[in-house]
């Protein structure tokens, strides 16, 4: 490959490695989709590119001789098929091509692999707008989230994984001279070490965040020398297909086999995920999705797996400075992408005696009503609501919301019409109160905009229940509100022990749902919501093996 590419991206890589260790704000890809940054016509062109894919074969991949062309995507905004077809390959073809590419890719130096991957991200940058429209019309995210989550934020997460992998591969010397004095003579050995990649890596995507949740595992495996097969959710292929196309182009341009990174789509009549996952040549699996399938993945023998499943996220309300600001912040968090984020709060633990707000004790019922009012106010704001709520990816989510929850109804109307998309599949947050004693009612993720209010004896019980839910059923986020330093320490300690990150006292323009690259570890790996984390060292070191060689020195 061209040495210029390494020079070109070394600075980016060095900055990214540094950012991993500073954990302050760092973003390589601008999240603002403004014309000043991305170009005057970027939005229009991106939309045009997206439209051009509809009802066509996606022919950008460097994967020859497909067995069929298939596609099952449909827009949650239009409730119409996208009509895009992708090349389908039998599992054995994908594996054979991956194996062949592996023999070459594993020998590429870490710095070269990293440079190729950073280059691919720079190329993807020029396609953020079409990826945004692709994401919008597969996941139902509103445009701004589609742009940010699938574009710059995903690219930053990918860069983070590249940086973490590159750092681990270069942290120890490639060789060393070892000399041991043994009385009158000494033994001298020349030693060297090789980071041997584990082998074929399968990355299984989800329907709601088709690039953001896929690229960390994909880039982590690639930088550590493993060939990758990406199997997206059949309803959300296009965003990641564009990313893979760019990776393949960079590989091919630099003389590498593009099969280092392949797209694997399900056939129209059967899913291929299990066949891929169980294949003896597949050594690494990254998975985002349901707990049930995730547990199956985790139990597969002989695989190294990285999962993000589901959790029950808690809000603990103890005491606040300004209750209105708090409920506004929380109303936004539960409404954002209609509660379809893995970080969205679900279980609101509120003490029966009420919540202290400044000097006042606000009664429980007033707190609950304020929360409901804040949600209604957001949903009924036509300027904001469509851009916050987006649409519902899966019809089953709408059914779940409409079916309701047995418990006292606080807010049951989930009707919401998107003024821009008359056919959009939508629903806004509903709120139910369930009994603290009825743990079954709030111990599973109710995916979508469903909020459960749980009246507790006191904050101690709130924390105890939130921690029990997290340790037993998993949790990806916790929002806690307290002005009492002792309560804060207690929550940190108890929720921390359950492997749940906690955001304290968020108000204004920052939300518990958001996890920033290079700073927030996303999913900790420390509870049943998942066994891995974007991006801690474990996320990359498990993808290769240190093997040593030694021989008498010169």
Q: In 3D, which of 147, 116, 193 has the Cα closest to residue 47?
A: 147
User: Would you count residue 255 as binding a copy of itself (CB under 8 A)?
Assistant: no
Count of residues in contact with a copy of itself, rule CB under 8 A: 63
Q: Tell me if 251 sits within 8 A of 257, measured CB to CB.
A: yes
Assess 403 for contact with a copy of itself (CB under 8 A). no
Among 40, 182, 422, 485, binds a copy of itself (CB under 8 A): 182
CA distance 8 to 20: 20
Q: How far apart are CA 231 and CA 272, in angstroms?
A: 8
To a copy of itself, the closest distance from the beta carbon of 304 in angstroms equals 9
Residue 260 per-residue DSSP state: G
- Does 496 bind a copy of itself (CB under 8 A)? Our answer is yes
How many other C-beta atoms lie within 10 A of the C-beta of residue 81? Answer: 13
Residue 551 sits in the site that holds a copy of itself (CB under 8 A): yes
Minimum distance from residue 371 beta carbon to a copy of itself (Å): 20
With CB under 8 A as the contact rule, the residue among 172, 381, 408, 435 that binds a copy of itself is 172
52 counts as binding a copy of itself under rule CB under 8 A: no
Return the number of the residue (255 or 508) whose C-beta is nearest a copy of itself: 508
Smallest distance from a copy of itself to CB 524, Å: 5
Site string for a copy of itself, 13-32 (x = CB under 8 A): -------xxxxxx-------
Structure tokens at 337: 């992408």
Alpha-carbon distance 520 to 24, whole Å? 9
Site membership for a copy of itself, residue 538 (CB under 8 A): yes
Identity of the residue, 11 or 545, whose beta carbon is nearer to a copy of itself in the bound complex: 545
* Shortest distance in whole angstroms from residue 516 CB to a copy of itself: 7
Nearest residue (CB) to a copy of itself, 135 versus 503 = 503
Q: Roughly what angle, to the nearest 10 degrees, separates helices 128-139 and 238-253?
A: 150
Report residue 243: phi and psi, to 5°.
Answer: -60, -45
Q: Report in angstroms how near the CB of residue 182 gets to a copy of itself at its nearest.
A: 6
Q: How far is CA 512 from each of CA 330, 350, 523, rounded to the nearest angstrom?
A: 8, 17, 13
Q: In terms of Cα–Cα distance, which of 110, 95, 221 is closest to 543?
A: 221
Most distant CA pair in the chain, distance: 88
Q: Tell me, what DSSP letter sits at residue 58?
A: -
- Stretch of residues binding a copy of itself (CB under 8 A), selected from 61-69, 342-350, 365-373, 539-547: 539-547
Residue 299 makes contact with a copy of itself by CB under 8 A: yes
Give the whole-angstrom CA distance, residue 315 versus residue 330: 9
Question: Coil, strand or helix: which one is 86?
Answer: strand
Choose between 360 and 489: whose C-beta lies nearer to a copy of itself: 489
Binding to a copy of itself in span 318-347, by CB under 8 A: none
Q: Which residues pair with 202 in a beta bridge?
A: 229, 285
Instruction: Supply the minimum distance, in Å, between the C-beta of residue 220 and a copy of itself.
Output: 14
Dist CA 50 CA 241 (whole Å) = 12
Choose between 44 and 550: whose C-beta lies nearer to a copy of itself: 550
Q: How far is the CB of 75 from a copy of itself (least distance, A)?
A: 30
Distance CA 138, CA 273 (A): 19
* Residues 498-537 as x/- pattern, contact with a copy of itself by CB under 8 A: -xxxxxxxxxxxx-----x--xxx--xxx------x--xx
For the chain, counts of helices (H) and of strands (E): 20, 22
Residue from 177, 268, 360, 399 binding a copy of itself (CB under 8 A): 177
Residues that bind a copy of itself (CB under 8 A): 20-25, 106, 168, 171-173, 176-180, 182, 185, 187, 189, 191, 193-194, 196, 198, 299, 301, 492, 496-497, 499-510, 516, 519-521, 524-526, 533, 536-538, 541-542, 545-552
């Amino acid at each position: 490959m061209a040495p210029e590419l390494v020079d070109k991206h070394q600075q980016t890589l060095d900055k990214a490695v540094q950012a991993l260790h500073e954990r302050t704000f760092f973003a390589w890809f601008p999240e603002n989709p403004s014309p000043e940054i991305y170009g005057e016509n970027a939005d229009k062109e991106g939309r045009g590119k997206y439209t051009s894919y509809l009802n066509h074969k996606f022919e950008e991949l460097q994967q020859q001789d497909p067995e069929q062309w298939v596609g099952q995507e449909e827009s949650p905004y239009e409730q119409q098929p996208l009509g895009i077809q992708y090349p389908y390959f039998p599992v054995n073809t994908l594996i054979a091509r991956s194996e062949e590419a592996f023999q070459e890719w594993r020998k590429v130096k870490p710095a070269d692999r990293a440079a190729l991957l950073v280059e691919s991200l720079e190329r993807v940058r020029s396609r953020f707008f079409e990826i945004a429209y692709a994401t919008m019309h597969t996941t139902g995210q509103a445009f701004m989230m589609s742009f940010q989550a699938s574009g710059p934020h995903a690219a930053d997460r990918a860069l983070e994984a590249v940086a973490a992998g590159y750092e681990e591969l270069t942290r120890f010397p490639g060789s060393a001279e070892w000399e041991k004095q043994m009385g009158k003579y000494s033994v001298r050995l020349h030693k060297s070490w090789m980071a041997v990649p584990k082998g074929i890596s399968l990355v299984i995507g989800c329907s709601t965040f088709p690039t953001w949740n896929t690229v960390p595992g994909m880039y982590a495996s690639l930088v550590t020398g493993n060939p990758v097969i990406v199997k997206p959710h059949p309803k959300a292929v296009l965003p990641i297909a564009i990313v893979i196309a760019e990776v393949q182009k960079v590989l091919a341009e630099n003389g590498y086999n593009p099969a280092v990174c392949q797209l694997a789509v399900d056939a129209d009549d059967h899913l291929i995920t299990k066949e891929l996952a169980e294949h003896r040549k597949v050594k690494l699996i990254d998975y985002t999705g349901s707990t049930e399938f995730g547990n199956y993945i985790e139990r597969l023998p002989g695989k190294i797996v990285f999962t993000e499943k589901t959790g029950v996220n808690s809000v603990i309300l103890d005491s606040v400075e300004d209750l209105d600001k708090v409920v506004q912040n929380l109303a936004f968090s539960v409404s954002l992408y209609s509660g379809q984020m893995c970080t969205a709060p679900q279980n609101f633990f509120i003490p029966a005696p009420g919540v202290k707000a400044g000097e006042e004790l606000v009664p429980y019922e007033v707190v609950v009503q304020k929360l409901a009012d804040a949600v209604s106010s957001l949903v009924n704001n036509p300027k904001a609501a469509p851009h916050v709520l987006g649409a519902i990816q899966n019809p089953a989510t709408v059914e779940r919301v409409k079916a309701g929850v047995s418990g006292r109804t606080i807010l049951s109307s989930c009707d919401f019409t998107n003024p821009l998309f008359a056919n959009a599949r939508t629903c806004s947050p509903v709120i139910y109160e369930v009994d603290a004693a009825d743990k079954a009612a709030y111990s599973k993720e109710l995916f979508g905009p469903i909020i459960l209010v749980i009246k507790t004896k006191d904050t101690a019980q709130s924390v105890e229940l939130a921690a029990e839910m997290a340790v037993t059923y998993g949790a990806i986020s916790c929002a806690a509100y307290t002005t009492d330093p002792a309560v804060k320490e207690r929550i940190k300690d108890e929720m921390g022990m359950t492997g749940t990150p906690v955001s304290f006292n968020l108000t204004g323009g920052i939300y518990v749902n958001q996890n920033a690259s290079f700073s927030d570890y996303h999913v900790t790996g420390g509870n049943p919501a998942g066994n891995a984390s974007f991006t801690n060292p474990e996320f990359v070191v498990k993808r290769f093996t240190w093997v040593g060689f030694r021989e008498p020195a010169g």
